[in-house]
Amino acid sequence: MNYPIITQLRYWIACLLLVLIVPGCEDTASNVATPRTITDQILEDDQFSLLRAAIRHADVGDALKGGNITFFAPTNAAFQAAGLTTESSIMTLSKQQVAQTILYHVLGTPLVSTSLPEGLNSVETVNRSVLYVNKTATTTIYINNARVTQPDIRVANGYIHVIDRLLTPTTGSLLTNINTNPNLTFLSAAIRRISASNPTLAGLFSASNTTSPLTLFAPNDDAFKADSRFRTISAIDVADPQVLSNLLQFHAVSGVVFSNQLLTGTIVTMLPNSRLAVTVTNDFITVRGNRNSASAVIRSPDQTATNGVIHIIDQVLMP
């Protein structure tokens, strides 16, 4: 006789438990990064596990939570391509070095891909370095030598754009990069030699040039030594300044062109009426001058400066 009453009691107890338990589950779900900041998005996405390790090591997570900012987020594959294949390899770098690298990926304003004008634009990062943003006619977007693979991830404090390369912070002008590179001492001497006779050209490499960025195919020291005209620094110090001026212009291209934007064909140099032949293969990129019997190989590409980019090559190019 009491079974119906017991059944009803069980029914109402079950209903009461559902009322108590289900809202609790909803509260738990809603407490997972709501609203989601850039840091929250990175923490919750497995393709950024190495980026998470870098952010923790550099202690810059809070910098990615405030303001309206843009973050170019390198994937695990991007870190691996840069030689940082594990969390342990990231930990071998200094905290300051990693912090500077991460902050180089951050802009202090929100940036939507659809608002970008076509072509090349330089922008300043939160650590006052320069990034080159290039939107092509096909709407592909490059950030320095990285390609945006997933644009416009909207989060509470801005936007994330996923990129396929780890960006390297700029370290001064073209001239600063040349003068501090132990493999470019001959090129440094050549610029120094023309500075008196052609200060305008020499000035394009210096920090004073903030409006006309260049792409420089920079012959290394071995390349100069293999050229019978320039086998020693002393030979460059007494060389005809006009010859050196022509040579430098032939190695320079107006604008910024990173290695992944070079195409097989020709590219116009700063020397009037002259072009370089470019060949792009899966293994390497080569450039050849008019009178070179063989092509020069780009040995170290994409060294970014505040006023351009350097590709180090293994031959002096002949106009």
Q: Which pLDDT value is given to residue 1?
A: 45
Instruction: Kindly indicate the confidence band of residue 139, based on its pLDDT and cuts at 50, 70 and 90.
Output: confident
Closest CA to 170 of 311, 312, 309: 309
Distance of CA 151 to the CA centre of its chain: 16
Question: Which pair of structure tokens corresponds to residue 77?
Answer: 């594959």
Q: Which pLDDT value is given to residue 67?
A: 85
pTM: predicted TM-score of the whole model, two decimal places: 0.83
Residues above pLDDT 90, as percent of the chain: 83
- Burial status of residue 18 (CB atoms within 10 A of its CB: 0-12, 13-18, 19 or more): exposed
Phi, psi of 161, rounded to the nearest 5 degrees: -120, 120
Closest CA to 153 of 11, 248, 40: 40
In this prediction, residues 258-268 reach a mean pLDDT of 95
Q: Which pLDDT value is given to residue 92?
A: 97
Instruction: Kindly indicate the confidence band of residue 34, based on its pLDDT and cuts at 50, 70 and 90.
Output: low
Q: Which pLDDT value is given to residue 74?
A: 98
Tens of pLDDT, residues 241-250: 999 999 999 9
In this prediction, residues 119-135 reach a mean pLDDT of 93
CB 165 within 8 A of CB 174: no
Question: Is the pLDDT confidence value at 73 over 50?
Answer: yes
Instruction: Kindly indicate the confidence band of residue 26, based on its pLDDT and cuts at 50, 70 and 90.
Output: very low
Domains of the chain: 38-163 (2.30.180.10), 174-313 (2.30.180.10)
DSSP letters of 230-246?
A: -SSHHHHHTS-HHHHHH
In terms of pLDDT, which residue wins out, 8 or 161? 161
Dump strand ranges (E) for 21-112: 69-74, 106-107
In this prediction, residues 32-38 reach a mean pLDDT of 72
Question: Which pair of structure tokens corresponds to residue 181?
Answer: 């590179």
> What is the average pLDDT score of the chain?
90
Tens of pLDDT, residues 300-312: 999 999 999 999 9
Residues comprising the chain, all counted: 319
Question: Is the pLDDT confidence value at 3 over 60?
Answer: no
CB 182 within 8 A of CB 276: no
Q: Which pLDDT value is given to residue 199?
A: 97
Residues 6+ apart with CB under 8 A from 177: 171, 303, 305, 310
Dump strand ranges (E) for 2-140: 69-74, 106-107, 119-124, 130-135
Question: Is the pLDDT confidence value at 31 over 50?
Answer: no
* Continuous segment of H or E residues that includes residue 256: none
Q: Which pLDDT value is given to residue 171?
A: 86
CB 218 within 8 A of CB 251: yes
In this prediction, residues 202-231 reach a mean pLDDT of 97
Which range, of 137-151, 235-249, 264-278, averages the lowest pLDDT?
137-151
